[in-house]
Amino acid sequence: MSRSDQWKLVGVLVVTLLAGWYLFPSYRFYSMTPAQRDAMAPADLTTLRKQAIHLGLDLQGGLQLLLEVDKSKLNAAEAKDATERAMEIIRNRVDQFGVAEPLIQREGEDRIAIQMPGLTDRQRAIELIGKTALLEFKLVRSNEDTKATFDKLDLYLASKGAGGADTTFKKAPLTGHMLDAGFVRKDDMGAVQKLLATPGIDSIIPGDTQLTWSSGDVSSQGITGRILYVLKKEPEMTGGSVASADALSGLDQTNPAAWGVSMKMTPKGRADFARVTGANVGRQLAIVLDGVVQSAPFIRGSIPNGDASITGGSIDLNEAKDLAIVLRAGALPAPVKILYESTVGPSLGSDSIKDGVMAGLIGTAMVVGFMVVYYQLSGLIAIIAMLLNTIYVVAMLAGVHATLTLPGIAGLVLTVGMAVDTNVLIFERIREELRNGRTVRQAVELGYDRAFRTIFDAHSTQIISGLFLFQFGTGPIKGFAVTLIIGLVANLFTAVLFTRMIYDYWLSRGKVERLSI
């Protein structure tokens, strides 16, 4: 074997070993039983999953959404990049939610397409993505101001006859439903909400004040209900002041087992929080999320360290985790609504894998049979090159952390055919040279040299087509394009370098009178 052939052999061995290195995590992950995965340390399992080939939505099931950003309440400047900002925030939320290889892309002016492969908790994901997460810290009005606001509302509602003939509600249509200032019985919630929807009532509420409900049921004197807070309309701080948020238990002193969210402020947020708490000792500071008061603790003194928490209501572990995620990711610039939703079950994805593998095996078997019968020993060499080509493609998909989809499997099957087609071009060129009276060595050299230009041109044009598909295509088309491009590059390596090395070694062993082709 010549030095050139030795270097070629070393190159093939190195590439094959690297392919095995990249494929091993995928083999290990997908060959594990559910019990083995459960027994594995979560951090190790997460690392292994990231290293393995990711399966797309059509192969492992999951959730597909089409969202629309509602820009109706934004001014022209805010609406200009609202969709891009919403995409980035949603991407951060989904990444922290733990979905491997999600697809998030813009469609048109104000729509966002999302694919989350492997997702099992559909409702939780929808709530996480759709939550606006506008966090505000607002001061609760003093008892005197609260009473004055409710009295004004009672006078207005009474003038409209909203209290009816009942003496309890005739003079106090609103506060007659309250046990304490702002506390409304659960059974009276509907009646109070109807009163607050009375036309013209907004003009009675002072312009710098707003009414906001508590998030969950509370108890007062053994009665369950909710609190209607009277808040200062302008927030003292917003969610932009929050640097980090974590789900923790034990934050609520009245219920240590309950879950909540602990927040730490940015440097500017700490300074603002210290100023606000220092100037309002004895008052309540409401933590308002998406227009609902999550908690309203009393300020006992200045808080210079910038620590705050959200507790109360019936927050469970998952709700606390999701709330921490949206607070870390930030608030959406505008509400989003779901236009389309589709859930692909794991069984459907499993069927797709089985069908795709079966199609690939049948197609490969037919190609193998044809090549061995028609090209004899040379056909067998082409089959080995084709198998190496497939291994290299799958290994490169794992190495670049690409997502394998059903169109990706189609691209893989297509590269199998193209790998054989490349060898067919070479073999036919060698046959032609043999018919022209060339020796076996000359026929092989001329066959490869003269077929290379055609092979290179064909692969180059198809790679360019694949790049355009990747640039302008959607998720499944991108998956097809990635597999196609990787397959074409691998095919140039195996068909030109590997098979040529086999022939050169064969011819170097002595005078060959006949070529099995």
pLDDT in tens, 99-122: 766 788 888 888 998 888 877 678
Looking at the domain assignment, is residue 479 inside a domain?
A: yes
Instruction: Report if residue 199 sits inside a domain.
Output: no
Domain for residue 3, yes or no? no
| Type of residue numbered 87 | M
Identify whether 192 is part of a domain.
no
Query: Does the residue 30 lie in any domain?
Result: no
Nearest-10 crossing angle of helices 406-435, 475-492: 30
Q: What is the DSSP letter of 176?
A: G
Residue among 495, 344, 353, 465 at smallest CA distance from 412 = 353
- List 214's β-bridge partners, or say none: 293
Can you tell me the distance from the alpha carbon of 143 to that of 284, in angstroms, rounded to the nearest whole number?
A: 10
Written as six digits, the tokens of 48 are 């292994």
Q: Tell me which H or E stretch contains 378.
A: helix 346-399
pLDDT at 348: 59
pLDDT, mean over the chain: 85
CB 36 within 8 A of CB 29: no
pLDDT score of 233: 94
The torsion defined by the Cα of 464, 465, 470 and 473, in degrees rounded to 10, comes to 150
196 domain-assigned: no
pLDDT band at 474 (very low <50, low <70, confident <90, very high): low
| pLDDT for 503 | 85
pLDDT at 99: 72
Q: What percent of the chain has pLDDT over 70?
A: 95
Q: 9: Cβ–Cβ under 8 A, 6 or more apart, which residues?
A: 1, 501
Other beta carbons within 10 angstroms of residue 64's beta carbon come to 19
Note the pLDDT of residue 314: 63
- d(CA 385, CA 424) in angstroms, rounded, equals 12
Phi–psi pair at 80, nearest 5 degrees:
-60, -45
Tell me the torsion sign for CA atoms 118, 124, 129, 130. Answer: positive
Please check whether residue 472 lies inside any domain of the structure.
yes
Q: Which two tokens stand for residue 324?
A: 């921490």
The pLDDT of residue 148:
93
Question: Per residue in 117-149, pLDDT tens?
Answer: 877 678 888 888 888 888 899 999 999 999 999
Domain containing 450: what range?
A: 345-508
- Write down the pLDDT at residue 484: 87
Encode 464-495 in three state secondary structure: HHHHHHHHHCCHHHHHHHHHHHHHHHHHHHHH
Q: Evaluate whether 190 touches 146 at the Cβ level (below 8 Å).
A: no
State residue 40's pLDDT score: 83
Using the predicted structure, report yes or no on whether residue 510 has a pLDDT greater than 70: no
Q: How far apart are CA 345 and CA 337, in angstroms?
A: 23
Helix (H, G, I), strand (E, B) or coil at 108: coil
Model confidence over 350-360: pLDDT tens digits? 676 777 778 87
Cα 468 versus chain centre, distance: 24
pLDDT of the residue at 146 = 94
CATH at residue 425:
1.20.1640.10
Q: What's the pLDDT score for residue 401? A: 79
Interval 443-455 mean pLDDT? 88
Supply the pLDDT for residue 346.
61
Q: Is it the case that residue 212 has pLDDT exceeding 90?
A: yes
The tally of domains found in the chain comes to 1
**pTM exceeds 0.85:** no
**What's the pLDDT score for residue 195?**
92
The pLDDT of residue 312 is 65
Of 203 and 308, the structure prediction assigns the larger pLDDT to: 203
Which pair of tokens denotes residue 35? 């019990």
Inside any domain, residue 317 = no
Q: Could you tell me how far CA 124 lies from the centroid of its own chain?
A: 14
Please report which confidence band the pLDDT of residue 183 belongs to, taking 50, 70 and 90 as the band edges: very high
Q: In 10 A of CB 69, how many CB atoms?
A: 25
Q: Is 504 helix (H, G, I), strand (E, B) or coil?
A: helix
Q: Give me the pLDDT at residue 67, please.
A: 92
Predicted confidence band of residue 349 (pLDDT cuts 50, 70, 90): low
CB-CB contact of 456 with 384 (8 Å): no
By C-alpha distance, which of 225, 215, 224, 210 is closest to 294?
Answer: 215
What is the tens place of the pLDDT at every residue in 252-280? 777 777 788 888 889 998 999 999 999 99
